[in-house]
Structure 1
Amino acid sequence: MSAIELHARPSADFESKVARALDLLRDAAERFPGRVVLANSLGAEDMVLTDLIGRHQLPIALGTLDTGVLHAETLAVLPRIRERYGIEVEVYRPVQEAVIEFVGRHGERAMYESVQLRKSCCGVRKLEPLSRMLAQRDAWVTGMRREQSDNRGSVPFEDQDDKGRVKFNPLADWSWGDVWHYIKLHDVPYNALHDQFFPSIGCAPCTRAISLGEPFRAGRWWWEDESAKECGLHVKQSALPA
C-alpha cells in the first residue's frame, strides 16, 4: 500500500488550510523579494510547499542540504523537481575537510556513541551548510508541523530564528492526512521511502522505518531519548547544549 493510499485523509477545513499556506508564501515573497528560501528536506511536507511555490510561480528559492549520507531515494527527488517545475534546487554540502576530520577523529559510527557526538555530526553535515544557505537571506520557509512531535507542538506560522531572520511555517496546522491528500490531489512527486513506512526522513544512518503505533519521528535517532530528537536546524542556538 502506498503512502497516499495509507494516509490521504483531508481535514474538514483542508481548503482553508491550503489557502492560508498560499497566502503566507505570497506574503513571504512580497516582504522579502529575492531574499527568502524554502529549506527543502525533500520530504512530503516540503514537496507540498515546493508544489505551491512552483504551481503559483512564487519567487521563493529552493535550497537543500546534501549531507553526504542521504538515501539514494532522497537524492532521486532532485531531478524530479527540475523536470516537474523547471526549478533548479540550490544544493549545499558540508565542507569535505571538516567531514574527513570528524570521521577520522570519531569514526563512521560516532552518532551512535553519544548525543553530543551525534549533534556534532549534525553540526558539520547540516548546520554549517544551512548557515551558507541562509547567509544572504532575510527569511526562510520550512515544512514544520505541530503534529510532528511534542517538541513542535507549538510551532507558529511565523517566527524568528536566532539570527533575526523571519521563519515561515505555512503547514504548521496541517495534519499528516492533509499533506498526503494534497500530494494525491496534485500528483506531487515524493520520496519513495514514504511508501516504505518512513514518515520522517533524514540521513541514512539516523533514519529507519517505523512500526504501526509508533510516534511520527520514532524513526529518527531511535536510540536516543525523545527530548533529544532535533538536529539543531529548528532549535535556536541559545537552546542548544554547549
Structure 2
Amino acid sequence: MNQLKQILEQVIQQKTLEEKLKFLNNNTKEKIVFSTSFGFEDQVISHAILNQKLQNIEIFTLDTGRVFQETYTTWNKTELKYQTKIKPYYPPTTELENFIEANGINPFYDSVDLRKQCCYIRKVIPLNRALQTASIWITGLRAEQSNNRHDMHEIEFDEEKQLFKFNPLIDFTTEDCFNYLKENRVPYNPLHDKGFISIGCAPCTRAIADGEDFRAGRWWWEDENKKECGLHAK
C-alpha cells in the first residue's frame, strides 16, 4: 500500500495528462481500471490512454440499459477509432427484473429512495464487480462539476472500496476538456452540443439552460444536495 502511494505521488508530479497516465502504466503491476460513461471528460482520458496504447490500464463502462442512443454511438466510434474493445458491465438480471416488477418501469420519479435503488442496481452493483480486484480507479471527476467536489484531490483513498482513486482532470475546466477533444479529434457525445453537460441515463438527464449548474440536468426533480447516484462518495 505504501509503495503504491509513493508511485501515485510521483504520478501527480508529472506535467501532462499523457505523462501521468504513462508513468502510472509503466511503474506498477497493480490492477488499474478506468471507468468511462463516454462523457467529454472521459473521452479526454480515453484518448490519453488509447492513443499511447497503455495496455496495463483496463477501460470499462457501466451499461445501465437506459442510456441514450448517442452514448452507444460514441462508444462505437471510440472503439473504431482506437481499434479497441471497452469492457461492459451490466446490472444483475434478477434484481433488476424484481425491482421493475415491484415498482414499475420509471419509479425513480416517485421518490428519492426508489431512484437510489434504481441507481444501485443499474450502476453500483456492476461497478463493485468491475472494481473487485483493482488497486487504482481512474475517474473523470472534476472540481468544477459540483459544489461537493470542490474539495476533492487528484489522489484519494476510497475507504469503502479499499483502493486509490486517481482523478487526473480534477483541475480541468470544461473549456480545457473541449479544447483537448478538438485538438486531438476525439469523438464525443453529440448531446453535449445540445446543452447536455452531465449525461447519464436518458430518463434522468436533460439539457441545461444558460446559467444553470452543471448538475442541474441530472435528477432535476430532486433537492440539489441529493444528486448523487452512489458511484462516488462526493
TM-score of the aligned structures, taking structure 2 as reference length: 0.90
1:160 pairs, out of 151, 157, 162, with: 157
- What secondary structure does 2:216 align onto? coil
**Does 2:232 match 1:234?**
yes
Offset, 1:18? 9.6
- What secondary structure does 2:66 align onto? coil
Partner of 1:92: 89
Partner of 1:194: 192
Aligned length: 221
Give the residue type in structure 1 aligned to 2:94. E
User: After superposition, where does 1:39-118 map in structure 2 within 5 Å?
Assistant: 39-58=35-54, 59-118=56-115
- What secondary structure does 1:174 align onto? coil
- What secondary structure does 1:218 align onto? helix
Structure 1 unaligned blocks of 5 or more: 1-16, 237-242
CA deviation map 1:110-131 (0-9, x unaligned): 1111111111100000000001
**C-alpha contact 1:62 1:89 (8 A) present in aligned 2:** yes
What CA RMSD, in Å, does the superposition of the two structures yield over aligned residues?
Answer: 1.8
Offset, 1:26? 2.7
User: After superposition, where does 1:130-149 map in structure 2 within 5 Å?
Assistant: 130-149=127-146
**C-alpha contact 1:142 1:168 (8 A) present in aligned 2:** yes
1:38 pairs, out of 34, 37, 40, with: 34
Give the residue type in structure 1 aligned to 2:207. A
Partner of 2:210: 212
Relative to 1, partners in 2 of residues 1:79 and 1:179: Cα closer, same or farther, differing over 3 Å?
A: same
Q: State the distance in 2 between where 1:33 and 1:78 align.
A: 27
CA deviation map 1:37-89 (0-9, x unaligned): 11001100000000000122223111000001010100111221111112210
CA deviation map 1:161-206 (0-9, x unaligned): 2221111000000000000000111011001111111010000110
- What secondary structure does 2:214 align onto? coil
